Amino acid sequence: MNATSKENRRTELSIFLRRHRARLSPSDVGLVASGRRRTPGLRREEVAALANVGLSWYTWLEQGRPINVSSQVLDAISRALRLDDAERIHLRLLAGVPDRSPNTQQRSTVRDDLLQYIVDGFREPAYIVNRHWCVDVANIPARDLLDVRAGTNCLVRFFTEDGRAQRYCDPEATARSLVGRYRLQVARYVDDPVFAETARRLCRESEVFAALWDERSVCAEPPELLAFRHEEFGRIDFRTVSFPLGSDPSRALVLQIPESGYRSTGSDTPVRIERVAG
C-alpha cells in the first residue's frame, strides 16, 4: 500500500469514528449524562472507558495517527460504538486489520470464456460482476427482466441513467443499500484507484449519490427483497443471492430468485420467468 492510500484510509477512519461516536447519546450505552455538551454524541473519554482502552491511544486512533491496533481492541471499540456487522468489518478494513474472511486479493480460478456458459445454465436472472460492479456477462432472463447489460456498471447506471432508479419499487432504499455496500467494497480494495474515480464521478453527476456518500454509512448485504417494475409484467419480486467464483470473492455470480408468494395481474413470477427463459 502506498503512502497516499494509507493517508486516505486513516482520514476515512477518523471520520468514521467521529461520526459513529456523535450518533450515540450517553443513555444509549447506559451512561448518565453529566455537564453541558457542546457537540452531540459521546465524548472520547466515554468511548475509551467503554472499550477499556487508554484515552490518549483512542484519541490518536480517532485523529488518524499511524498507530498499531489489534483486532481485539477494534472489536472492543466496535462494541462501545454499537457497530453492526457491516460497520465492524468496515472499521477493521480502514484500520488495516484483515477481517476474518477469505483473502480478497486472490485471483480468479474461473476462465473468462466459461462465464457466459455458467450464467446460461440458470433459468432465473443470472449475471456475473467484477469487484468494481461492472457486469461481465448476463443471461437472457437478466437482460429481459432486469435490463442487466454486460459491459456496464450497476452503480453508475442506477445513479446516472434516466429512469433507471425508478424501475425499482423502492428507489430510496435501493440507493442507500448500493452506496453502503460500495463503500464497504472501497475499503476492501483501498489501493485500487478505480473506486475513488467512480465515487468522484458520481458525486459530480448525482446529488443523491453525493448526499449518501457523505453519510459514510455501510452495509454488507443487499435488501432481502428486490422489487422491480417491468414494462410488460408489472412488479416482480426477487431474492438476491450471490456467490464468489472459485477462490475469487472479487468476482461474483448473482442470482435473482423469484419470490414464490408473488402475485400480480393473474400470474406469478416463476411463470413469467419461464416465458422469458423459453
The mean pLDDT of 52-61, rounded to a whole number, is 92
**Whole-number pLDDT of residue 267:** 40
Count of alpha carbons within 13 Å of 98, Cβ hemisphere only? 6
The answer to whether residues 35 and 165 belong to one domain is no
Total of domains in the chain: 2
pLDDT value at 261 more than 80:
no
The answer to whether residues 121 and 180 belong to one domain is yes
Question: Domain containing 191 — which CATH number?
Answer: 3.30.450.180
**Whole-number pLDDT of residue 105:** 46
Is 148 part of a structural domain of the chain?
Answer: yes
With a CB cutoff of 8 Å and minimum separation 6, the contacts of 164 are 157, 158
Closest CA relative to residue 249, chosen from 192, 208, 189: 189
The answer to whether residues 89 and 113 belong to one domain is no
The answer to whether residues 146 and 50 belong to one domain is no
The answer to whether residues 20 and 126 belong to one domain is no
The answer to whether residues 111 and 71 belong to one domain is no
Is 252 part of a structural domain of the chain?
Answer: yes
Question: Domain containing 5 — which CATH number?
Answer: 1.10.260.40
**Whole-number pLDDT of residue 225:** 86
Single out the residue in 93, 122, 157 at which a domain terminates.
93
pTM: 0.74
The answer to whether residues 84 and 168 belong to one domain is no
How confident is the model over 126-145, as pLDDT tens digits? 999 999 999 999 999 999 99
DSSP element (H, E) containing 193: helix 193-205
The answer to whether residues 152 and 117 belong to one domain is yes
Is 225 part of a structural domain of the chain?
Answer: yes
Q: How confident is the model at residue 2 (pLDDT cuts 50, 70, 90)?
A: low
As a whole number, the mean pLDDT across the chain is 85
Output the nine-digit C-alpha cell for 250: 472479487
The answer to whether residues 139 and 182 belong to one domain is yes
Q: How confident is the model at residue 219 (pLDDT cuts 50, 70, 90)?
A: confident
d(CA 178, CA 159): 10
d(CA 191, CA 252): 20
d(CA 273, CA 142): 10
The answer to whether residues 71 and 138 belong to one domain is no
The mean pLDDT of 221-230, rounded to a whole number, is 86
HEC sequence for 128-184: EECCCCEEEEECHHHHHHHCCCCCCEHHHHHHHCCCCHHHECCHHHHHHHHHHHHHH
Is 8 part of a structural domain of the chain?
Answer: yes
Is 58 part of a structural domain of the chain?
Answer: yes
What burial letters (b/e) apply to 151-170, b meaning 16+ CB within 10 Å? eebbbbbbbeeeeebebbee
The answer to whether residues 192 and 89 belong to one domain is no
d(CA 238, CA 216): 27
The answer to whether residues 26 and 123 belong to one domain is no
Is 33 part of a structural domain of the chain?
Answer: yes
How far lies 168's CA from each of 4, 146, 158, in Å? 38, 10, 10
**Range of 158's domain?**
106-259
pLDDT value at 168 more than 80:
yes
Is 269 part of a structural domain of the chain?
Answer: no
Is 71 part of a structural domain of the chain?
Answer: yes
How confident is the model over 66-119, as pLDDT tens digits? 888 888 899 999 999 999 888 988 898 898 886 655 444 445 556 777 889 999
CA dihedral 46, 52, 56, 59 (to 10 degrees): -60
The mean pLDDT of 201-212, rounded to a whole number, is 97
